């Protein structure tokens, strides 16, 4: 009986530790692919976009919750964040001044239903003055 409990405890511990490791090891850089870029000074290279959280509103529309972090050492001022769905601009957000290691979270409503296969049609653009970077959700997601 003691051997059975020990084996069960080891198996349960192994299952839980694998799940935690797999969850934390998902790299955010591999979730997006860079589509276009005009950033000669690499100012926007230190901006990290976390994978968006897709939610459904009552009418069947989709809400995207997005988090952006500034991993650079400089203050990022007056930047815009655009969300496109099927090459149509869905949302435009003026980001606040992001300090070094600062983050900002916001939501964008898309007046359409986005299925799992349609997520590849969602793209994001970060723009500051004339410098910009456009990202798309990588396939397979």
pLDDT digits 0-9 by tens, 70-95: 988 888 888 999 999 998 999 999 99
What's the pTM? Answer: 0.74
Burial of 98 (0-12, 13-18, 19+ CB in 10 A): buried
How sure is the predictor about 37, in pLDDT bands with cuts at 50, 70 and 90? very high
- Contact of 137 with 120, CB cutoff 8 Å: yes
What local confidence, expressed as pLDDT, does residue 18 receive? 46
Helix, strand, coil percent content, the chain, rounded in steps of 5: 25, 45, 35
- Contact of 54 with 112, CB cutoff 8 Å: no
Residues whose CB is less than 8 angstroms from the CB of residue 11 and which lie 6 or more positions away in sequence, other chains included: none
What local confidence, expressed as pLDDT, does residue 119 receive? 86
């Amino acid at each position: 009986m003691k051997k059975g409990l020990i084996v069960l405890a080891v198996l349960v511990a192994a299952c839980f530790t694998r799940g935690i490791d797999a969850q934390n090891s998902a790299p955010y850089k591999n979730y997006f692919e860079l589509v276009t870029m005009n950033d000669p000074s690499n100012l926007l290279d230190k901006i990290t976009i976390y994978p968006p959280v897709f939610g459904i509103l009552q009418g069947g529309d989709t809400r995207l919750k997005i988090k952006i972090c500034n991993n650079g050492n400089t203050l990022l001022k007056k930047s815009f964040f655009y969300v496109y769905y099927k090459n149509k601009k869905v949302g435009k957000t003026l980001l606040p001044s992001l300090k070094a290691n600062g983050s900002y979270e916001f939501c964008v409503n898309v007046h359409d239903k986005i299925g799992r296969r349609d997520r590849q049609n969602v793209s994001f653009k970060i723009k500051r003055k004339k410098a910009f970077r456009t990202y798309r959700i990588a396939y397979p997601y």
